[in-house]
Amino acid sequence: MASVIPVIFILAIVLGLMACGYLFVPKGPQQTTIRTAIMLTLASCYLMWMITYMAQLHPLITPYRATKAGESL
């Protein structure tokens, strides 16, 4: 069931949030700073999540471990 759809879906959500951040920050001396901060945070957090998610979609190797009896995971 692993597909790229969640990635695109979350991307749409994040883009929407970024637009909200741009539009709804009140005018004031800190407007640019707050806008930039919100948009950059959303973008960088999404990027990292996307990379982590996609790296695990179709893994090329499977984990293995040499378990000893009674050892906790």
Partner 1 sequence: MGDDYPTLFRSEQMSLMQFLIPTEVAHDTVAELGELGNVQFMDLNPAVNPFQRSFVGEIRRTEEMARRVRFFESQIQKEKDVVPIRPLYDSAPLVTVGPSAAHNIDELDVTLAEHETRLVQMNDSYKTLSERTRELVEARHVLRETAVFFDKAETQQTDIRTSFDDSSAPLLQHDDREQQYLSTAQFDLEFVAGTIDRTRISTFERVLWRVLRGNLYMNHTDITEPFVDPATGTETRKNVFIIFAHGDALLAKIRKVAESMGATLYPIDANADKRSDSLREVTARLEDLETVLYNTGVNRRSELLRIGENLARWQDVVRKEKAIYETMNLFNYDVRRKTLVAEGWVPTRDLAMIHMALRHATEESGTSVVPILQELSTSKTPPTFTRTNKFTEGFQTIMDAYGIATYQEVNPGLFAIITFPFLFAVMFGDIGHGLIIFFAALYMIFQEKKWARQELDEILGQFFYGRYIILLMGVFSVYTGLMYNDIFSKSLHIWHSGWDFPESDGVSYAVSNGHIYPFGIDPGWHGADNGLVFTNSYKMKMSIVLGVIHMTFALCLQLPNHIKFKRPLDIYANFIPQMIFLHSIFGYLVVCILYKWSIDWSTRDTEPPSLLNMLIAMILSPGKVDAAAQLYPGQSFIQVVLLLLAMICVPWMLCMKPYFQWKEMQMIQGQGYVGLGHRNGGPRESTDEVLENEEEGNGRAIVEEMEEEHEHHDFSEVVIHQIIHTIEFCLGCISHTASYLRLWALSLAHAQLSEVLWSMTIEKFLGLSGIFGTIALVMVVVFWFLATVFILCIMEGLSAFLHALRLHWVEANSKHYQGEGYSFTPLSFAKLDEKE
Give the residues lining the site for partner 1 (CB under 8 A).
1-2, 4, 6, 27-33, 36-37, 40-41, 44-45, 47-49, 51-67, 69, 73
Question: Six-digit token pair at 32?
Answer: 């640019």
Q: Least CB distance from residue 16 to partner 1, whole Å?
A: 19
Closer residue to partner 1 (CB): 20 or 33: 33
Whether the Cβ atoms of residue 25 and residue 31 lie closer than 8 Å to each other: yes
How far is Cα 54 from Cα 46, in angstroms, rounded to an integer?
A: 12
How far is Cα 56 from Cα 15, in angstroms, rounded to an integer?
A: 23
Closer residue to partner 1 (CB): 20 or 45: 45
Count of beta carbons in the 10 Å neighbourhood of residue 32: 10
Q: Least CB distance from residue 26 to partner 1, whole Å?
A: 11
Q: Least CB distance from residue 57 to partner 1, whole Å?
A: 6
